[in-house]
Amino acid sequence: MPHASAPRPAKRPTLADVARASGVSVALASIVLREAEGASGESRARVKQAAADLGYRPDSRARSLRSSRSRTLGLALALGEPLHAELADALYAQADQSGFEIILGATGRHRDERRVLNTLIDAGVEAVIGVFPELPAAQLVQVSKQLPVISLLRKVKGIPSVITDEAAGVEQVVSHLVQRGHTRLLHLDGGSAVSAKQRRDAFIESAARASASASGQILPAGPDEATAFAVLREYLEKMPQAERATAVLAFNDRAALGARQAIDLAGLQVPEQICLAGYDDSEFARLAHADLTSVRQDVAALAQAAMQAALNSPGASSTHAPQLVVRGSTGQRRA
């Protein structure tokens, strides 16, 4: 059955319509609506009134085509990550303040990060802020010749990078655990996820530095529940109790949640028999059952720095201090 032809959408009002309705030139209408200088109070009122009456909204494609000012920012991130969601929230707040709009691109498991980047650029954004775990630095640098590109959560040489001091975060957890008497520490790493390498390296160093008697072991896992669960489950089954780690540091809170399932399954008590720490202090960490000690990244500061870097000419890199949030999963008795 042939489709009825589309009910041709009501054409949206253009600047010319507004100008005509208010009896001024297109140029003047543009001046008024841009809040630029050079229009009398009377014209201002008339044009604004007409614009409001017609429900005029400027066409950002035409605007950005002509002026390369779309007042729009591109944000690339992964959809399932709680931390990314928090960052997006904070960035939206920042953008509001600067009068910018934000559009998003989702980098996914098998979605080409380069393509996401291109899509955003094609849509006319003035700058891109993004978490690009795998995109080669060279490509990011290349693109950054066209417009500002800010790397979030990952240090990329050659472009402004806004990151958290991973070494400091891991150090805080490790020394917290060592202080509580733990000597055998285990880290479930994040595989190829962003900052996984930094945390892995920092874990080794911190463990070595913290105490002569402390030892750190690393288990290759991933940034989500599933692999952390599987990996830790196997570890707990195989490892004799005497040699078993007494504290586990997961790559992030999601992984910690998976780890917790494995621990529960093994019949171990948290924190009495084994301690567990996460990373990112996402909403998961605050769940009552998890009650997870975690490392809080300073989302607000990260967002603000990223926005600043995106808006200022040669954006500045910055590193932000994380903060350990101690909860029940590492030894405090729960209420």
Contacts to DNA by CB under 7 A? 11, 14-16, 24-28, 30-31, 33-34, 36, 38-43, 56, 58-59, 62-63, 65-67, 69
Q: Which is nearer to its own copies, 286 or 296 (CB)?
A: 286
Q: Find, among 107, 111, 99, 97, the residue nearest to 129 by Cα.
A: 107
Asked if 317 touches its own copies (CB under 8 A), the answer is no
- Is 189 an interacting residue with respect to its own copies (CB under 8 A)? no
Q: Which of 102, 167, 219, 266 binds its own copies (CB under 8 A)?
A: 102
**Residue that has been written with the tokens 């926005």 in this structure:** 307
Of 5 and 241, which CB lies nearer to its own copies in the complex structure? 5
Q: Which stretch binds its own copies (CB under 8 A): 99-107, 157-165, 198-206, 234-242?
A: 99-107
162 or 257, CB closer to its own copies? 257
Q: State how far the alpha carbon of 90 is from the alpha carbons of 54, 83, 87, in Å.
A: 33, 11, 5
Q: Tell which positions 213-272 bind its own copies, by CB under 8 A.
A: 224-226, 229, 257-258, 260-262, 264-265
CB of 139 to DNA, least distance (A): 20
Question: Any contact of residue 62 with its own copies (CB under 8 A)?
Answer: yes
- Residue 40 touches which member of its own copies, DNA, none, C-beta under 5-8 Å by kind: DNA
Residues 146, 99 contacting (CB under 8 angstroms): no
72 binds its own copies (CB under 8 A): yes
* Six token digits for residue 10: 């009501």
Task: Give the burial class of 323: count Cβ atoms within 10 A of its Cβ; 0-12 exposed, 13-18 middle, 19 or more buried.
Answer: middle
> 323-325 and 294-296 as β-strands: parallel, antiparallel, unpaired?
antiparallel
Write down the H helix ranges in the chain: 15-22, 26-33, 41-54, 60-67, 82-98, 113-122, 137-143, 166-179, 196-210, 225-238, 253-265, 283-286, 299-311
Given the complex with DNA, which of 71 and 233 has the nearer CB atom? 71
Give min distance, CB of 13 to DNA, in A: 7
Q: Which pair of structure tokens corresponds to residue 74?
A: 């591109």
Cβ-based nearer residue to its own copies, 65 or 208: 65
Closest CB to its own copies among 12 and 209? 12
Toward DNA, which CB reaches closer, 65 or 93?
Answer: 65
The nearest distance, CB 37 to its own copies, in angstroms, is: 16
What is the rounded CA–CA span in Å between residue 192 and residue 14?
Answer: 49
- Binding flag, residue 137, its own copies (CB under 8 A): no
- Amino acid letter, residue 75: L
Is 8 exposed, middle or buried, given 0-12, 13-18 or 19+ CB atoms closer than 10 A? exposed
Report how far residue 159's alpha carbon sits from residue 129's, in angstroms, rounded to the nearest whole number.
Answer: 11
Q: Is 325 in the site for its own copies (CB under 8 A)?
A: no
Residue 84, classed as helix, strand or coil, is helix
Q: Are 303 and 87 in contact (CB under 8 A)?
A: yes
Is 45 a binding residue for its own copies by CB under 8 A? The answer is no
For residue 241, the one-letter residue type is: Q
Question: Residue 217: exposed, middle, or buried by beta-carbon count in 10 A (0-12, 13-18, 19+)?
Answer: middle
- The DSSP call for residue 157 is T
Residues near its own copies, by CB under 8 A:
1, 3-7, 9-10, 12, 57-62, 64-65, 72, 79-80, 82, 84-85, 88-89, 92, 97-99, 101-106, 108-109, 111, 118-120, 122-124, 145-148, 224-226, 229, 257-258, 260-262, 264-265, 283, 286-290, 311-314
